[in-house]
A and B are shown apart, each in its own frame.
Chain A
Amino acid sequence: MSMTKPISRLDVLEAESIHIFREAAAQFRKPVLLYSIGKDSTVLLHLARKAFFPQRIPFPLLHIDTTWKFRDMIAFRDRTARDLGLDLIVHVNEAGRAQGINPIDYAPSLYTDVMKTEGLRQALDRHGFDAAFGGARRDEEASRAKERVFSFRTAEHRWDPRHQRPEMWNLLNGRLGTGESARVFPLSNWTEGDVWRYVLREKLDVVPLYLAAIRPTIERNGMLLVLDDDRMRLAEGEKIVPRRVRFRTLGCWPLTAAIESEAADLLSVVTETLAARTSERQGRLIDHDQAGAMEKKKQEGYF
C-alpha cells in the first residue's frame, strides 16, 4: 500500500474529473467517449480508466475519422485501443468521402462541417448515444469559457448558449428533456499547462508529433504545414523544406500548423508550453476563418 500522497493542484483537478465521469456514467443511459487522439483525449482516457477502476471503462470510444488525420495519429489510436483492450468505434462520413470533400479543394469550414460535425451527428444518432464525453477545456477559447460541464444539445445537436442550465456546486443534473443529448466535459477546469504537467506526472504516452523532429514542411500563409502524404498540391514557389518542428495541437494535417522547436522530449515540451506567448488555437487554421467561429460551429453541432 502506498502512503498518503500530498494533495496537489493536479490531484484536485483529477478528482474533479473522476467525479464528473462517474456522475455521467450513473445518469446517462448510453454514453460514449469522443476520442480525438490528441493530448487532451489521452488525459481524458486516462481519467476514465481511473474513474471506474478496477472495472473496465463502461462505455465505448468514438473516433470521427476525417480521413485526413496524420498517419502517426491513426497508428497511435489503434495501438492504444489494442493495448488497453478498448471498445473503439471509428466513424467516417461516407457520403462526404464519396463526394470527395477534402480540406485542400474546399474551404476549411465547409470541410470541417461535413467531415467532422456532420460525421459526429451521424455517429451519435446511429448508435443512439445520449451523452458524449469530450476533452474541451474552458481555457481554450472565449465561447468555451462559457460552457457548462454537462452541456445540453437539442435533438438537432445544437448548443443554445443563451439558455444553459444552471449548474450549481458539483450537483450535475443529467436529466434529459425529450430528444436532448448531452456533451460532458471532465477537463473543463484544466489549463493547457495542467494537461501537459499531468501527461508528464502520469508518464502518459502521446502521439510523437507533439515532440520536435525533422519533418518535411511547407510555409503557407505564414503557417508551417507538415506534409503527411502526397495529397497536397504545392503552389507556385512553395518548396518542401525539412524543419525541426512539433505540434501544440493535432488535427487534420493540412489544417494544423506546426511550430519550430527543439523540444524533443516531454519535459522540454512542457517547459516551452508554459513559456509560450501565443494561444494554442493559433495553430488551427479553421479557427481563424471568422470571428466567433467556434461558437457558430458549436451551435451547428460541432463538439
Chain B
Amino acid sequence: MGAVLAKDADHPATGAAAKELLCSSAEITTGDENAQAIVHVLTCGSVDDGKSTLIGRLLWDVADLPEDTRASVAETLLPDGRIDLSRLVDGLAAERAQGITIDIAWRYVDAGARRYVIIDSPGHEQYTRNMATGASHADVAIMLVDARHGVKPQTRRHAAILGLLGVRRVILAVNKMDLVGGNEARFREIEADFRSLTARFAFEEAAAIPVVATTGDNVARSSSTMTWYEGPTLIEQLNRTPPRGSVEAASFRMPVQLVVRRPPDFRGLAGTVTSGSIAVGQTVIDTTSGRRAAVRRIATMDGDLEAAHCGQAVVLQLDADLDIARGAILATPDDPAIRTKRLDARLVWMSETPFDLQRRLFLRSATDLVPVSSVRVSARLDLETLTEIEASDCVHNDVVLAAITLRRPVALDRFADHKGTGALVLVDALTGATVAGGTAVALHEAAGQEEVGFRLTTAMLAEGVCAGVEPTSAEFRRRAIALLKVLKAAGVDAALEANDEEMNGAYLQPSAHPG
C-alpha cells in the first residue's frame, strides 16, 4: 500500500515547500480570474460518433488518472486489442453492456490554474433529455461528427439545443478520420456543412479539427499523418477558450430561496446573486409586490459583507419588514425583473409522453413554482430545413416555441437579458417529472397588482386559525394549507401571501404526500 506514495526524500511534505506546492497546484489565492477558471466542456453529436472515446482519450493523455483506474480500464480490451477508452466515462453497467452512453458523465480535470468540468453526453436520440441537462451547464461544446457519415439529424438536433440553451462556443471535431484515410476533402466538406449550423444558431466562429479519438491524433498531440492540417489540437483549442464571461456588469438579480429567521427579530432573505451586485444601503425592489426597501445587512457566517457579487450565496436583511418570500426576485429599481402571467418560451420537450393539453403542469423559474393554466405550442423546429414550422403539438425531443399562460404572475427575465432568471422548466403536477426545459423569449407584463382572488396573509392566519402558533412551525403550515384547501374546494381563488410554493400548490399534491 505505502509503496504507491512517494518516499520522503523526493516528497517534502512539510513546511514551506509543501505550502508552495499547495498554492501553485490549485488553491487559488489571487483575484477574480480564478473563479472564472472553471470551464465546463460538453461533448455532443450523434450516437456512436466517438464522444466517450474522445473524452476517454483526453483523460488518458492529459489527466492525472489514478493508477488503479488506469489498470481497471486496461483490463478489458476491444476485439482488436485496443483499450476501450469509453469505459473511463461510460460508468453504468447498462452502458458497458450496450456500448452506448445513457446518461451524462461528469469528470473533473485540473490543468494548471484551470479546472475543466467535462460533461460527456449520450448521442442516442432516446436520451436527448440527458444531453440537454449537460448542455445547460456548458461553456463550450465539442460537437463530434463521424467522418464517414457527416452531419446527421441528431447532430442538428444537438446544435439546436445548444442554440436554445445559449451555448455559443462550439468546436467541431471530425472524428474517425482514420476510417476515411485522413482525407482532407472529406473533412472540408463536413466543415462546410457545419458552418451552416454555426450561422443558424449564432455559434461563435470556432475551430474545426480532424481527430482520431482511438489513437489520439490531434487530441493532445498533432497528427503525424494528417499533415495537411495546421490548426490547433483539441487541447490547445480548449485552452484558448476564454472562461465564462462575468455578468458582474449586468443589473442586480437575486431570486429569493427562503427566509431565514433568528429570534428575536432577525428576518433575512437567502439567495444566490445571479447577476450584478448589491451593496449595503442600496435600494432593492421586489417585482412581484412592487415594494422597495434598502439593504441593511448582508449576512454570512464568515461575517457581514459590504457588498454581494454575482455568484455569492448570501442573506439580505432589509430595513423594512416586507412580506417577501421564496419566488421573489430582488432587483434594483432602475431595472427590475418582469412580473408576468403570459410568456413565450422556447422549449425542448423532454417527456416521453407527447404534449397534452390536459396535463396539469407547473412552471419552475429560478425559485418559484407556479401553476400553469395553458401551454400552446405555436411552432416546431424542422431538423432537415432548420426552420421553425407552424405546429400545435410536439413529441419527445422536439424543439418548440410555445405560449404559456400562468394561474398567477411570476417574476422572470428574458433569457437573453438574464440567464439566471430567464431559464425555466415545466414540471408535471402529478408525477413531479420535469417534462420540458427552456428559456423565456418574450414576457407580457401583467397589469395591476394582484389577480389572485383572495390573499391569505401571515398576519390574518396568526389572528385566525393559526392563533398562538409559531409562524415558522409545521403546525402553522398545516393549518394554513388546510384552510387553503377548504377555500379552494369552495371555489375561492385563494393563495397565501407568503409565497410558499408547496402551500399554494397544495391542492395539487398527490394524496400520498401529505401537506
| Bound-state Cα–Cα, A54 to B266, Å | 8
Flag whether A171 is at the interface (Cβ < 8 A).
Answer: yes
Are B262 and A271 in contact (CB-based, < 8 A)? no
Interface string of A51-65 (1 = CB under 8 A from B): 111110000000000
Are B92 and A274 in contact (CB-based, < 8 A)? no
| Bound-state Cα–Cα, A121 to B361, Å | 31
Of B214-222, B399-407, B428-436, the segment with at least 4 beta carbons within 8 Å of chain A is B428-436
Flag whether B284 is at the interface (Cβ < 8 A).
Answer: no
The winner among A1, A9, A171, A175 for most chain B CB atoms within 10 A is A175
**Residue from the list A144, A162, A178 in contact with B94, Cβ < 8 A:** A162
**Residue from the list A165, A222, A274 in contact with B25, Cβ < 8 A:** A274
What distance in Å separates the Cβ of A50 from its nearest Cβ neighbour in chain B? Answer: 5
What distance in Å separates the Cβ of B20 from its nearest Cβ neighbour in chain A? Answer: 10
Are A168 and B425 in contact (CB-based, < 8 A)? yes
* Closest B residue to A6 using CB positions: B31
Are A168 and B423 in contact (CB-based, < 8 A)? yes
**Residue from the list B37, B68, B272, B437 in contact with A9, Cβ < 8 A:** B37
**Residue from the list A2, A165, A262, A267 in contact with B22, Cβ < 8 A:** A267
Flag whether A82 is at the interface (Cβ < 8 A).
Answer: no
Taking CB atoms, residues of chain B closer than 8 Å to A2 are 302-305
Flag whether B199 is at the interface (Cβ < 8 A).
Answer: no
Are B305 and A19 in contact (CB-based, < 8 A)? no
Flag whether A240 is at the interface (Cβ < 8 A).
Answer: no
Interface residues of A in 156-186 (CB under 8 A from B): 161-162, 164-171, 173, 175-180
Interface residues of A in 198-246 (CB under 8 A from B): 201, 222-224
| Bound-state Cα–Cα, A176 to B429, Å | 9
Flag whether A75 is at the interface (Cβ < 8 A).
Answer: no
What distance in Å separates the Cβ of A215 from its nearest Cβ neighbour in chain B? Answer: 13
| Bound-state Cα–Cα, A265 to B14, Å | 9
Flag whether B275 is at the interface (Cβ < 8 A).
Answer: no
Flag whether B6 is at the interface (Cβ < 8 A).
Answer: yes
Are A260 and B5 in contact (CB-based, < 8 A)? yes
Are B512 and A178 in contact (CB-based, < 8 A)? yes
| Bound-state Cα–Cα, A164 to B299, Å | 36
**Residue from the list B28, B365, B434 in contact with A165, Cβ < 8 A:** B434
Of B105-113, B172-180, B486-494, the segment with at least 4 beta carbons within 8 Å of chain A is B105-113
Prevailing SS type, chain B contact patch: mixed
Are A7 and B309 in contact (CB-based, < 8 A)? yes
**Residue from the list B30, B102, B367 in contact with A6, Cβ < 8 A:** B30
Q: Interface size on A (CB < 8 Å)?
A: 87
Are A143 and B260 in contact (CB-based, < 8 A)? no
Taking CB atoms, residues of chain B closer than 8 Å to A67 are none
What distance in Å separates the Cβ of A25 from its nearest Cβ neighbour in chain B? Answer: 6
Taking CB atoms, residues of chain A closer than 8 Å to B137 are 169
Are B301 and A50 in contact (CB-based, < 8 A)? yes
Taking CB atoms, residues of chain B closer than 8 Å to A110 are none
Flag whether B383 is at the interface (Cβ < 8 A).
Answer: no
Are B305 and A166 in contact (CB-based, < 8 A)? no
Are B103 and A166 in contact (CB-based, < 8 A)? no
| Bound-state Cα–Cα, A277 to B66, Å | 5
Taking CB atoms, residues of chain A closer than 8 Å to B4 are 276-278
Chain B interface residue bracket vs A? 35 or more
The winner among A164, A165, A261 for most chain B CB atoms within 10 A is A165
| Bound-state Cα–Cα, A168 to B5, Å | 40
Are A1 and B108 in contact (CB-based, < 8 A)? no
Given contacts A1-B303, A11-B35, A271-B22, contact A175 B427 (CB under 8 A): yes
Interface residues of B in 6-44 (CB under 8 A from A): 6, 8, 11, 13-14, 18-19, 21-22, 25-32, 34-35, 37-38
Of A34-42, A88-96, A101-109, A134-142, the segment with at least 4 beta carbons within 8 Å of chain B is A134-142
Flag whether B129 is at the interface (Cβ < 8 A).
Answer: yes
Are A18 and B309 in contact (CB-based, < 8 A)? no
Taking CB atoms, residues of chain A closer than 8 Å to B312 are 7, 11, 15
What distance in Å separates the Cβ of A8 from its nearest Cβ neighbour in chain B? Answer: 4
Flag whether B290 is at the interface (Cβ < 8 A).
Answer: no
Given contacts A2-B302, A15-B312, A26-B367, contact A8 B2 (CB under 8 A): no
Given contacts A52-B260, A145-B91, contact A270 B22 (CB under 8 A): yes
* Closest A residue to B435 using CB positions: A166
Flag whether B130 is at the interface (Cβ < 8 A).
Answer: yes
Taking CB atoms, residues of chain B closer than 8 Å to A165 are 433-434
Taking CB atoms, residues of chain B closer than 8 Å to A161 are 92, 94, 102-103
The winner among A10, A168, A169, A188 for most chain B CB atoms within 10 A is A168
What distance in Å separates the Cβ of B168 from its nearest Cβ neighbour in chain A? Answer: 16
Interface residues of B in 297-324 (CB under 8 A from A): 299-307, 309, 311-313, 315
Taking CB atoms, residues of chain B closer than 8 Å to A271 are 13, 18, 21-22
What distance in Å separates the Cβ of B353 from its nearest Cβ neighbour in chain A? Answer: 13
Flag whether A189 is at the interface (Cβ < 8 A).
Answer: yes
Are B437 and A177 in contact (CB-based, < 8 A)? no
* Closest A residue to B88 using CB positions: A142
Interface residues of B in 130-188 (CB under 8 A from A): 130, 132-133, 136-137, 165
Which are the 4 A-B pairs with shortest beta-carbon distances? A142-B91, A260-B2, A175-B432, A279-B66
29 example contacts (A-B, Cβ-Cβ < 8 A) are as follows A4-B306, A6-B34, A9-B37, A11-B312, A26-B257, A27-B501, A55-B262, A142-B105, A145-B106, A146-B104, A146-B106, A162-B103, A165-B433, A166-B130, A166-B350, A168-B434, A171-B364, A171-B425, A175-B429, A178-B513, A189-B106, A189-B117, A193-B110, A197-B22, A260-B5, A271-B13, A278-B4, A278-B68, A282-B68
- Chain B positions within 8 Å of A, measured between CB atoms, are 1-2, 4-6, 8, 11, 13-14, 18-19, 21-22, 25-32, 34-35, 37-38, 66-69, 89-94, 96, 102-108, 110, 115, 117, 129-130, 132-133, 136-137, 165, 257-258, 260-262, 266, 268, 270-272, 299-307, 309, 311-313, 315, 326, 350, 362, 364-367, 369, 419-420, 423-425, 427, 429-434, 437, 501-502, 510, 512-513
